[in-house]
């Protein structure tokens, strides 16, 4: 299991050729109270860097970007009725979707935890 991060504040937890994806705690703090999440559908194919959904909060709407390419194999149905899960557990139960990765070499473009933490420090 490997955890990586994108510059767009998505995390990706890789287990073999399947990855779970969500937004980081930093991102949910910037958004404020999440009120709605629009996720991709099972069977959709995503390209790395392409839009994979939208999060709406009391402050703004923000796009979610795919940190890696692949096919959606599961979405977090709990977010339909409880989008605030993203605020309370962004890097846990507030995950958004799972994909079957199509290009493992794309993972080399992502940051580890230390790299992401340094990236966030530069933003503050």
Instruction: Give the span between the Cα atoms of 68 and 6, in whole angstroms.
Output: 9
Domain range 2-112, CATH class: mainly beta
Q: What is the pLDDT of residue 76?
A: 98
Task: Say what the pLDDT of residue 124 is.
Answer: 79
Answer whether 67's CB lies under 8 Å from 12's CB. yes
Query: pLDDT by residue (tens digit) across 28-78?
Result: 999 999 999 999 999 999 999 999 999 999 998 999 999 999 999 999 999
| Per-residue CA distances from 119 to 31, 92, 113, 122, 124 (Å) | 18, 21, 10, 5, 9
Q: What is the pLDDT of residue 1?
A: 60
CA distance 99 to 42: 9
At 106, is the secondary structure helix, strand, or coil? helix
C-alpha angle 31-114-48 in degrees, rounded to nearest 5: 60
Query: Model confidence over 27-37: pLDDT tens digits?
Result: 999 999 999 99
């Amino acid at each position: 299991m490997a955890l990586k991060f994108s510059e767009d504040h998505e995390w990706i937890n890789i287990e073999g050729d399947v990855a779970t994806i969500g937004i980081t705690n930093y991102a949910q703090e910037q958004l404020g109270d999440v009120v709605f999440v629009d996720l991709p559908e099972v069977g959709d194919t995503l390209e790395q860097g392409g839009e994979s959904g939208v999060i709406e909060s009391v402050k703004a709407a923000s796009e979610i970007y795919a940190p890696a390419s692949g096919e959606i194999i599961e979405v977090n149905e709990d977010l339909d009725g409880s989008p605030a899960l993203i605020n309370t557990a962004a890097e846990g139960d507030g995950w958004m979707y799972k994909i079957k990765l199509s290009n493992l070499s794309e993972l080399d473009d992502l940051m580890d935890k230390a790299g992401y933490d340094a990236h966030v420090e530069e933003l503050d």
